[in-house]
Structure 1
Amino acid sequence: MPDMPPPSGRFDVGQSDCFWRKEGRAMVLRVFYPIDKVQASSSSSLPSSPSTAGWSSSASPQTAHASLARNFFTLKWTGGEEERRRAEWLPETYGAPCPSYAEGYGITMYNLMPWMPPEICKTIGKIGLGLLFSGVRIPTFADEPPTAALETFVPIIYSHGLGGNRSCYSSVCIDLASHGYVVFALEHSDGSASLNVLPDKTVTEYKHAPRKAFLPSPNRIKKGFTASLVPEEQRQPVSQYEFRHQQLEQRVEEVRFIADVIQAISEGKFEGEEWMSNVIKNGNVFANKIDMSRLGGMGHSFGACTILKTSFVDSRFKACVLHDSWLFPLDEKTAHSALTCPTLFLNSSTFDNIWPTEGAKVQKSFVEAAKESGGEVYVMHLIGTKHASFADFPVLFSDFFLNLGVIGPTDPKKAMRAVHACDVSFFNSYLHVEDSDRLEKTNESLWASLFVGISKEGENTDTSQWRPPPDFEDLVVPDFTVINTERGKIKIGCFTNDPRSLHMEKLSLSETS
């Protein structure tokens, strides 16, 4: 039975799928939040909590694991007969006539394997991934009330990468929630999600950037058949950069919409919603309890780029953690600017393969701008990992994805625990969260010394610099690929590693100031 690393915090975790419609915009998202510990009944051989790794004294680990599989993670409250089941990993499609979320993953495989016909990818998703992902449950409990032990909750907004959705980064979201954060994992409706289905049965499937990337003209049909034949009225080809940059702009607006809704909920003023989860709607349990003065942002790949760009236009974000950022869709001005809040780049071993050399140059530009402006930006390298190491797939289905070649040599669950440790440590430090289970003692002065004493050759000459949690010092190190990159030209819009891009030439070439 697939299983995730247990959360490292002192709380168990609830999850609730929400549909928010306000002022002409509608989005679906998943909220992860801390709940009181769920205890197993004394007669059960199941783990005492979904977030603990210990087994009851009445059963061996093997027996308990078998029981766990048979019962589909069913737990009982101590002293009661009411059962609580771990929540499902994949979202539902609300009866819409569309592929399942498992099939959606298969369809998006064409983006990674353009030589394989889309029909084959869809079949793989329906038959292969559909069976593999079916019935997977995670260490959360659906629609349970949040803990009363915390007077306020610190919010984090999570943005998924290309081909992702609101559920496939559950592990990192769950771990943060176990430390008292409320994580809002949104599902973008720009066509970058593997699938996006709203409860009103609105469906947006993944939009590939085809060999000749076209974006439809909104005026083509409106002007009638004759006008549609005029060459100037035809759909115009766009480059891979233009295609993704337009998606980025929509994604930023969606993140800001979620931030607006969270703020309205925190003030007890949210009105106009068509439907929301039972947890939030029943008495608005988060009213006046979410502290928007400590809003954090987090994302992976395209989602990391989305959060980074949003932080430039929305001052409510006070700290950002960016997993293996895909910075290709950024505009030139942003790539040359100083970051607006403390930011941690946590890169995989293959991060620079996503946008050859240029991604490192952009991160280097941010580092140098921070030194000049007094800002705080940190670039770390997670040894032995690949781009997918930050998502749920490697920890849930290690053998399967190892055979696909998307997992590095580091054990996926150990790598994920290292990610958890860095995420919690960074947000605890910069959002000033009091957590009795903090993984390490950190403060701003230690983080600020990260790059102090690191020479061009990568030698550490300052023993007082910040270090990752002791258990992961062998995995998380400063990213010398970025640190040692020469500050120079950044080829904005040059996507040379995508053979399907229509325009291979760079759109601009400028010197980093």
Structure 2
Amino acid sequence: MGGVQSLQLPHGKGPHQVGCTDVMVGYNRKGLFFRLFYPCLPQEGAEQPLWIPRYEYCHGLADYINLNRKWCTPVLSVTFENCEGLGRCFLLFQLISCSRGSYRVPVSWNGPFKSCGSRYPLIIFSHGLGAFRTVYSAVCAEMASRGFLVMALEHRDHSACATYFCKVEAGESDSLEAALQEEWIPFRRAREGQKEFHFRNPQVHQRANECVRGLRLMQDINRGKAVTNVFHKEFDLSALKDCVDLTKVAVMGHSFGGATAVLALAKETHFKCAVALDAWMFPLENALYPKVIKPVLFVNTEKFQTTESVAKMKRLSSRNSQTKIITILGSVHQSQTDFTFLAGNLLNRVFQTRGTLNPYAGLDITNRAALAFLQKHLELKEDFDQWNNLLEGIGDSVIPEAPFCVSSL
């Protein structure tokens, strides 16, 4: 494969500069927490946000991959928070020799929103198991650079490696901000003896409901309803008033988030289509499939899917000729996450964060196929149809449906 010379996230390739902000709405776990990516005005010297925004996410990642928190978390934190490169962290892991890279997302933090004569279509993005809102920044930033608003949710169903909400402690302070207390929601595995499906199925329903609530929130913001962001005032959500095209809304996700996107499409009529990146179909109940009547694009990697999972995708494609299944050759499950760009060669060999296909080439295929699909089903007037051949599995490193031999989990 082509070497990855530097460990950094790619910039969006579209015509728009990209900004992002974090939004938390509500003072309990039934609220919403997400990172919003959006087209923004150019800004010299703009601050770029950290890829891992809080120390606690390092705890969560350590727990998720079953590493010892006592030594794993401090080195992860030093690496990502101080942006000194993966070398220090993974040399201690004995997984990687010295490498350097930037661990900030190449977008403008709280950059000025770029209003335009027309409204922006909306994508609601659902992360995978053990991830959080920033792990798909490369995909989300690319979509925003192409003229989408992207709401990257952080789910509160115990499937994120860690997340939190802010609650008000009565009597603590006269100031609401000073009275806010964080409550963290850790990653949770199925209990011993508990069937995995019976644990994951309620989670995927909670996740899909959060996607629907995310859409409802954007509807409120678009019509000018005052929405309080718990975090800060640096980005004014009222700037989005009348700037969201709520007739052009899609739901997208990776792995567990791919299954979430399929379920959300069935739950909410305003979602016009779904893009499912290497979807983990296992948590979806059989009764769901007849209810998914709108098109889905399944973009699979070569080394993750099972025969059973692909068969479930084919149940949907057999019902709707506009539902497409393609596979990117030389890719692995993490190829559709930011980890594929931020892991060095030895770490890649241990954790399989990268396949034989250059990760930047793999990202281009993923994004271009998604954009072509979104143009068609959101009825966009863009030039994304130049990549329509990808939807049929035609092109370098892409095939229709699945390889003859799929992996077993």
Q: CA deviation at 1:400?
A: 4.8
Q: In structure 1, what is the Cα distance between the partners aligned to 2:8 and 2:337?
A: 13
Residue type matched to 2:125 in 1?
A: Y
1:256 pairs, out of 184, 208, 212, with 212
Q: CA deviation at 1:338?
A: 5.8
Q: CA deviation at 1:409?
A: 1.0
Cα contact 2:327–2:401 (8 A) shared by 1: yes
Measured against aligned partners, the alpha-carbon deviations of 1:37-80 in whole angstroms (never above 9, x if no partner) come to: 34xxxxxxxxxxxxxxxxxxxxxxxxxxxxxxxxxxxxxx3xxx
Report what 1:243 is aligned to: 199
Report what 1:316 is aligned to: 270
Q: In structure 1, what is the Cα distance between the partners aligned to 2:284 and 2:32?
A: 24
Cα contact 1:267–1:287 (8 A) shared by 2: yes
Q: In structure 2, what is the Cα distance between the partners aligned to 1:340 and 1:16?
A: 34
Report what 1:388 is aligned to: 334
Residue type matched to 1:32 in 2?
A: F
Cα contact 1:338–1:366 (8 A) shared by 2: no
2:161 pairs, out of 179, 187, 194, with 194
Q: What pairs with 1:127-142 in structure 2 (closer than 5 Å)?
A: 127-134=74-81, 135=83, 136-142=103-109
Residue type matched to 1:358 in 2?
A: E
Extract structure 1 runs of 4+ deviating beyond 4 A: none
Q: What pairs with 1:248-287 in structure 2 (closer than 5 Å)?
A: 248-271=204-227, 273=228, 275=230, 278=233, 281=236, 284-287=238-241
Report what 2:173 is aligned to: none
Cα contact 2:27–2:165 (8 A) shared by 1: no
Aligned length, in residue pairs: 368
Report what 2:24 is aligned to: 19
Residue type matched to 1:15 in 2?
A: C
Change (3 A) 1:155 1:276: farther
Q: What pairs with 1:175-254 in structure 2 (closer than 5 Å)?
A: 175-199=142-166, 200-212=181-193, 238-254=194-210
Measured against aligned partners, the alpha-carbon deviations of 1:164-211 in whole angstroms (never above 9, x if no partner) come to: 100000000000000010000000011000110234412101112243
- Equivalent position SS for 1:251: helix
Q: In structure 1, what is the Cα distance between the partners aligned to 2:304 and 2:236?
A: 41
Change (3 A) 1:124 1:306: farther
Q: In structure 1, what is the Cα distance between the partners aligned to 2:195 and 2:204?
A: 14
Q: CA deviation at 1:380?
A: 0.3
Report what 1:101 is aligned to: 57
Q: In structure 1, what is the Cα distance between the partners aligned to 2:330 and 2:70?
A: 32
Q: CA deviation at 1:398?
A: 3.7
Q: In structure 1, what is the Cα distance between the partners aligned to 2:136 and 2:197?
A: 25
Change (3 A) 1:380 1:279: farther
1:156 pairs, out of 123, 127, 144, with 123
Q: In structure 1, what is the Cα distance between the partners aligned to 2:206 and 2:190?
A: 16
Report what 2:400 is aligned to: 478
Measured against aligned partners, the alpha-carbon deviations of 1:363-393 in whole angstroms (never above 9, x if no partner) come to: 111111224xxxx100000101111111001
- The structure number with the bigger radius of gyration is 1
Q: CA deviation at 1:397?
A: 2.0
Cα contact 1:168–1:393 (8 A) shared by 2: yes
Cα contact 2:14–2:145 (8 A) shared by 1: yes
Q: In structure 1, what is the Cα distance between the partners aligned to 2:380 and 2:356?
A: 34
Report what 1:364 is aligned to: 314
Residue type matched to 2:18 in 1?
A: V
Cα contact 2:300–2:325 (8 A) shared by 1: yes
Q: In structure 1, what is the Cα distance between the partners aligned to 2:363 and 2:253?
A: 15
Change (3 A) 1:107 1:24: closer
Residue type matched to 1:416 in 2?
A: L
Cα contact 2:115–2:243 (8 A) shared by 1: no
Q: CA deviation at 1:149?
A: 3.6
Residue type matched to 2:184 in 1?
A: V
Cα contact 1:160–1:169 (8 A) shared by 2: yes
Residue type matched to 1:9 in 2?
A: G
Report what 1:85 is aligned to: 47
Change (3 A) 1:148 1:249: closer
Q: What pairs with 1:106-117 in structure 2 (closer than 5 Å)?
A: 106-110=62-66
- Equivalent position SS for 1:88: coil
Q: In structure 1, what is the Cα distance between the partners aligned to 2:29 and 2:127?
A: 23
Cα contact 1:321–1:345 (8 A) shared by 2: yes
Residue type matched to 1:26 in 2?
A: G
Q: CA deviation at 1:109?
A: 0.4
Cα contact 1:380–1:478 (8 A) shared by 2: yes
Higher relative contact order (CA 8 A, sep 6+): 2
1:441 pairs, out of 383, 386, 397, with 386
Residue type matched to 1:28 in 2?
A: F
- Equivalent position SS for 1:441: helix
Measured against aligned partners, the alpha-carbon deviations of 1:138-160 in whole angstroms (never above 9, x if no partner) come to: 11111111113453111100000
Residue type matched to 1:196 in 2?
A: T
Change (3 A) 1:339 1:398: farther
TM-score by length of 1: 0.67
1:350 and 2:312 matched: no
Q: In structure 2, what is the Cα distance between the partners aligned to 1:294 and 1:176?
A: 14
Q: CA deviation at 1:26?
A: 1.5
- Equivalent position SS for 1:202: strand
1:401 and 2:343 matched: no
Cα contact 1:106–1:124 (8 A) shared by 2: no
Change (3 A) 1:480 1:204: closer
Question: Percent identity of the aligned residues?
Answer: 25
Measured against aligned partners, the alpha-carbon deviations of 1:280-299 in whole angstroms (never above 9, x if no partner) come to: 536x0111111111111100
- Equivalent position SS for 2:247: helix
Change (3 A) 1:150 1:11: farther
Residue type matched to 2:309 in 1?
A: G
Report what 1:292 is aligned to: 246
- Equivalent position SS for 1:203: strand
Report what 2:257 is aligned to: 303
C-alpha RMSD over aligned residues: 2.5
Report what 1:146 is aligned to: 113
Q: In structure 1, what is the Cα distance between the partners aligned to 2:28 and 2:221?
A: 15
Q: CA deviation at 1:276?
A: 5.7
- Unaligned residue ranges in structure 1 (runs of 5+): 39-76, 78-82, 93-98, 111-119, 213-237, 451-465, 486-495, 498-513
Q: CA deviation at 1:402?
A: 1.3
